[in-house]
Amino acid sequence: MIFSAKRDILKLSNQGEPFMPAKKKDSPKDELLTLLKELDNEEITWLVTQARTMIYNHKVTEVNKAARSLVEAKNRTVKAQKKTKGSSKKASAPKIDIEQAGNSNNFNIIVGTARLFLNLTELKSLVKIANANKSAKTGANGLYRWMTRERHDMINDANLTGPGDPRLAAIYNILKDRYTTG
C-alpha cells in the first residue's frame, strides 16, 4: 500500500480530521490558538516557557536600548562641553576653590558643582604634597596619587580625568598659595 506524503500530513490530527494550515486571513494568534488544541500539556508547558523567555528577551532588549540611548546622549553632552571648553576657556572654566565648612576642622574643595568634603588632617596631607612639589604638573600628580590611595570618591565626584587634569593643577596652586604646614 503506497501513501502519498500529502495525504499522510493531512491525517495527522488527533481527531482523524485532516490537518489544515491556518487560512491566510487568520492572525498568527488565531493560528496558535487552533494549534494548541492539538498539543498535550507537556508540549503546552514547553511553549509557555518559550513564550516567557521571549518576553524576557524583549524586555532586556528594551532596557539595553534605553541604556545605549542614555550613553549616547551623555557622550553627545560631553562632546558638546569639550567643544565649548575649547572655544572659550575663560567662559567655561569651572569654579575651583577651597573653603572652610562649618568649624575649623572641616573644608570643602569646590570643583565646578562638586563639593569635596575634607577634614583638617586630609587637608594637611594635601598641603604637604603641594609644598613638596616645585611645579603644578608634579604637584597635580601627587594630589591625584593621594586621592587614588586615600579618597577615590573625590576623583569620582569631581569627574577628574587623571593626573594631568588641569583642575588638579588649579587645586595645587590654591594649596600652595594659601596654606602652609606647621
The residue extents of the domains of the chain are: 1-57, 92-178
CA atoms within 13 A on the CB side of 100: 6
Taking the model in full, what pTM does it have? Answer: 0.50
pLDDT at 17 over 60: no
Confidence of residue 122 (pLDDT cuts 50, 70, 90): very high
> What pLDDT was estimated at residue 80?
76
Confidence of residue 86 (pLDDT cuts 50, 70, 90): low
Amino acid at 122: E
How far CA 123 is from CA of 48, 104, 154, 158, 172, in Å, comes to 62, 11, 13, 17, 12
Percent of the chain with pLDDT over 70: 81
Confidence of residue 42 (pLDDT cuts 50, 70, 90): very high
